[in-house]
Structure 1
Amino acid sequence: MADWPRIESQVETEFLTRHLDSRDELVQALEHCEIVVIMRERTPFPADLFARLPRLRLLITSGMRNAAIDLKAAAQHGVTVCGTASNSEPPAELAWALILGLARQVVPENNALRSGGPWQHSVGADLHGRRLGLLGLGKIGRKMARIGAAFGMEVMAWSQNLTSERAAEGGAILAASKEELLESSDFVSVHLVLSDRTRGLLGEAELRRMRSSAYLVNTSRAGIVDQAALLRALEEGWIAGAGADVFETEPLPLDDPLRSAPRFLALPHLGYVTRRNYEGYFTQAVEDIEAFVAGAPVRVVG
């Protein structure tokens, strides 16, 4: 995805392609490194990890925002943190893949066709004329709103600081409350940043407010939706189905009940995983390394 050989005279490069299950394994793999390139928030860097990697001098993350890096600890240990550009179109596109997959029962119908099961055994949910409820109307949420409008959907949005003016600018009407959005939407899609204010934003009470015919899609962060409540909602039929690309523990444990939950379309955190994004991430990671070695770091985070 990038021209790594062009820095081979300056740094020795190695690639780690397997998941490391424990902090000790991670330390053992990285303790000899001065430079580490990580993929967004998939490898958390808390204070204790910086303390165990005394040779580390440059940490590069894809994207310019990574909540899993303790920037204060990085500074205390003399580690420069740099980032890269990141395109917001891919996660919006994936959210629509989940919405369309759920609405038209794409996976069950494909499985039935391939296995010789019943022919055309489901009745799809319409998008045209239905309401799309967006929790969050930021950079990705606005893209979702435009696509929803193209499908002929009515778009409603809510977040704690959203105003009617900003909602209108983003192509949506403002919900009077989170509850109104949940109760009146046919599809609810989450596009909020995980924070103390949004963690557990959708719990049992909120999921029970949704229509039994409605679908929930979360491509933001798993912590925004109570995972135990989501499992119950699927198993007990509070909602028609759900799609998710994010989980509290990744990779999702093999024994996690969400793996076999009914009416659940799940993907292994693919939101930003596209060729254009990866080419940008790694090309700019090489540039970050070159600039750092030259003594003039670029795209410094924080």
Structure 2
Amino acid sequence: MPRVLISDKLESPGLDLLRQAGIELDERHGLTGAALQEALRAADGVIVRSGTRITAELLENPGKLKAVVRAGVGVDNIDVAAATRHGIVVMNTPGGNTVSTAEHTITMLMALARHIPAADASLRQGKWERNKFVGSQLAGKTLGIVGLGRIGREVARRATGLDMKVLGHDPFMAPDKAAQLGIESVPELDQLLPRCDFLTVHTPLTDETRDLLDARRLALLPRGARVLNCARGGIINEQALAEALRSGHLAGAALDVFEQEPPAGDHPLMKLPNVVATPHLGASTVEAQESVAREAAQLLVDFLTRGVVQFAVNMAAVDRTELEELRLYVDMARRLGLLHAQMCHGAIRRAQLSYRGEVARRSTKLVTAAFTAGLLEQRLSEGVNIVNAELLARERGIDIVEQTNPRKGDFSTLIKAEVQTDKKTYTAAGTLFGNQYLRLVQIGPYHLDSFLDGIMLIFTHHDVPGLIGFIGTIFGKHRVNIAQMTVGRQQPGGEAIAILNLDNQPPEEALKEVKQHPQISSLSVVKLPPAGEMPAWF
């Protein structure tokens, strides 16, 4: 039974969904240090909100932990790089709080434009200061949106409904797509800022977006502009923002998030009357909390029970249908990687995966990751899987390259793997027969047809009569059964390669006797998983 740690409060719909799937729950909120590390090591998955920090130190010895799910969007409280290194998939729930966060942004926009908090406080003090709180009409004003993901687009839709002109900056949003949403796409942020009456940010917090709006960029906004941040603290430099507000260059700011939460009591922004602030309430609606809980729970149920990956931030997402369609290709690619790992000599420099035919029409990223995992898993002491394989390869200076050609060649589908070491280049290719049987159809320059499983004796030799009989006699003496044999050659009497699929491991003495034949130039024993056996990480 899979075990899941719930380290922060999760609404009951999510907990119920996990229990119904037969998952054991460990509900302990507020764990830190050694207690949290112990709980993580004992769990197959963990669901966190913003309260729990999953650090590299906590993941140093992750035990059986396979997945971290953030019930929310931002993953800056999770060391994604460390999780990836240990083969732990990190997923988030981008859809659950989209509407609530967009609504909160519009609420903050209106509160900022009409001085709602200050006017409310004044009235409660017995004052009637109508002239002091003259606001700004939103209709006809220009709203700049930095980041046109789910939330940014929802904010744009609502702002358009308020008759605002919406400008957007997002390097990953095509201008024609933005135009369909009623957004004018501005390719450069520095070109967007001078045109804004209001500016709101909706990007994740990354190394690239930290201090995205610094003193220089805030100065590009028109005098009297207002800024909002309901995304992540740190996207706007808080010291620079405070100075721009104090100087009068900016008329106001609305903030739901801060670099440090909660902010210190003497935080400069908290002392300014033209700042509207809330304690990270973007997703704090009953509907959003329940939606996020269900979504987070479903992600873990799908992953732990069916291997389905969705909304992952450190690997390709794979839905249930695609996973089943890719299953045999993933299996084949990993076996080709394992084959290369046992046959290659020298330091691996580069691996090229060439996909042709049916497989080339599918998403091959997961297939390439499976090959890389097979290539590395027997060479590295750390656990290797499809999450961390390509990262581990890059760290070791191994280039992983893909080529695709949807046109069919000699086979309806073909995966060809070429591995270059500091000594030579090794080639192997596999295909599917009848859309279900894995076959090895090429090694080096030789074409053949061999099972791609179990114990394989692979040897190159001069094509002469009697060689197979010689080997069969030796193996018979040592009670090694040959299940299947295939030979590939370029011309009669020339160099050739043979593969014997064996039912049991040949003893070292038998291999020594085989090697004595003068026409055998090289010999390797390759061990692959039995037919149909998938890795634990799939």
Asked whether the equivalents of residues 224 and 248 of structure 2 are also in contact (C-alpha less than 8 Å), the reply is no
Whichever residue aligns with residue 117 of structure 1, its letter is K
Asked whether the equivalents of residues 239 and 268 of structure 2 are also in contact (C-alpha less than 8 Å), the reply is no
Q: Which residue of 1 aligns with 2:261?
A: 250
1:223 aligns with 2:234: yes
Q: Runs ≥4 in structure 1, deviation > 4 angstroms?
A: 52-58, 75-85, 284-293, 297-300
Which of 220, 226, 246 is matched with 1:235 structurally? 246
Which of 48, 51, 58 is matched with 2:60 structurally? 51
Which of 13, 18, 33 is matched with 2:26 structurally? 13
Alpha-carbon distance, 1:165 to partner: 2.1
1:2 aligns with 2:12: yes
1:30 aligns with 2:36: yes
Asked whether the equivalents of residues 31 and 55 of structure 1 are also in contact (C-alpha less than 8 Å), the reply is no
1:191 aligns with 2:202: yes
Q: Which residue of 2 aligns with 1:22?
A: none
Equivalent residue runs for 1:113-152 within 5 Å: 113-120=123-130, 121-152=132-163
Q: Secondary structure at the match of 2:12?
A: coil
TM-score, normalization by structure 1:
0.83
1:149 & 1:284 partners in 2: Cα distance? 29
Structure with higher Rg: it is 2
How many pairs are equivalent?
293
Larger relative strand fraction: 2
TM-score, normalization by structure 2:
0.49
Whichever residue aligns with residue 239 of structure 1, its letter is L
Alpha-carbon distance, 1:59 to partner: 3.0
Q: C-alpha offsets along residues 239-285 of structure 1, whole Å, 9 cap, x if unaligned? A: 10001111111222233222222311111112122222211232344
2:146 & 2:66 partners in 1: Cα distance? 38
Whichever residue aligns with residue 237 of structure 2, its letter is D
Asked whether the equivalents of residues 58 and 81 of structure 1 are also in contact (C-alpha less than 8 Å), the reply is yes
Q: Structure 2, unaligned stretches of length 5 or more? A: 1-10, 316-538
Q: Secondary structure at the match of 2:228?
A: strand
- Higher relative contact order (CA closer than 8 Å, sequence separation 6+): 1
Asked whether the equivalents of residues 183 and 209 of structure 1 are also in contact (C-alpha less than 8 Å), the reply is yes
Comparing 160-169 with 128-137, which one deviates more in the overlay? Answer: 160-169
Q: Structure 1, unaligned stretches of length 5 or more? A: 19-24
Equivalent residue runs for 1:277-296 within 5 Å: 277-287=288-298, 295-296=305-306
2:177 & 2:166 partners in 1: Cα distance? 13
1:183 & 1:78 partners in 2: Cα distance? 44
Alpha-carbon distance, 1:292 to partner: 6.7
Equivalent residue runs for 1:51-200 within 5 Å: 51=60, 54=63, 56=65, 58-63=67-72, 66-74=75-83, 76-77=85-86, 79=88, 81=90, 83-84=92-93, 86-120=96-130, 121-175=132-186, 177-200=188-211
Indicate the RMSD between aligned Cα atoms, in angstroms: 2.9
1:282–1:232 distance in 2 versus 1, CA, 3 Å: same
Percent of aligned pairs with the same amino acid: 31
Which of 263, 269, 283 is matched with 2:280 structurally? 269
Asked whether the equivalents of residues 234 and 262 of structure 1 are also in contact (C-alpha less than 8 Å), the reply is no
Whichever residue aligns with residue 183 of structure 1, its letter is P
